[in-house]
Structure 1
């Protein structure tokens, strides 16, 4: 189990994750990604799914045409943990292609 980050640890982690923000009313972080079209958005999701599976940490997400909305929280920790930060960093790398 990964320990839940303190408020200052989470704030520091978010400074290195442009566009990611805390979710109101939840201990989670989220970001929306926009792509040129549906196939590009779906390819991004496929890549992230493979990375997430290897990390054994899976995002909450949705896709509508060219947009992918992702929320991360470590449920067994009760909030944002280092696992979420690591997955968000991997997601950023995938988005840059």
Structure 2
């Protein structure tokens, strides 16, 4: 998978509210009502990530979830990261 340029990343981020480019990945964060809600969404995201064979770098503290996506094999951000980011948005916004 081809690593995207910073211009390509910036263009694609226009369609993903709340996501930004930093370092070698695209990232976002979510705040939920409580830990149970955060963990429930993480579980749903995990199933999607597994089906796409693309796994996020993420952390969770109580009701906060931080996610960074990068394609390690390509050394940066690829279309694969944007596919998972869009799927994550769909999951989070479906509740």
TM-score class normalised by the smaller sequence: over 0.9
| Deviation (angstroms), 1:41 | 0.3
Q: How does 1:8-47 map to 2 (within 5 A)?
A: 8-23=7-22, 26-47=23-44
Q: Show structure 1 runs of 4+ deviating over 6 A.
A: none
1:40-88 deviation line (CA, Å, top 9, x unaligned): 0000000000000000000000000111000000000000000000000
CA RMSD of aligned residues (A): 0.6
SS of 1:79 mapped into structure 2: coil
- Structure 2 unaligned regions, length at least 5: none
1:9-57 deviation line (CA, Å, top 9, x unaligned): 101110001010011xx21110010111111000000000000000000
- Structure 1 unaligned regions, length at least 5: none
Does 2:68 align with 1:71?
Answer: yes
Q: TM-score, normalised by structure 2?
A: 0.96
Does 2:76 align with 1:91?
Answer: no
| Deviation (angstroms), 1:7 | 1.5
SS of 1:40 mapped into structure 2: helix
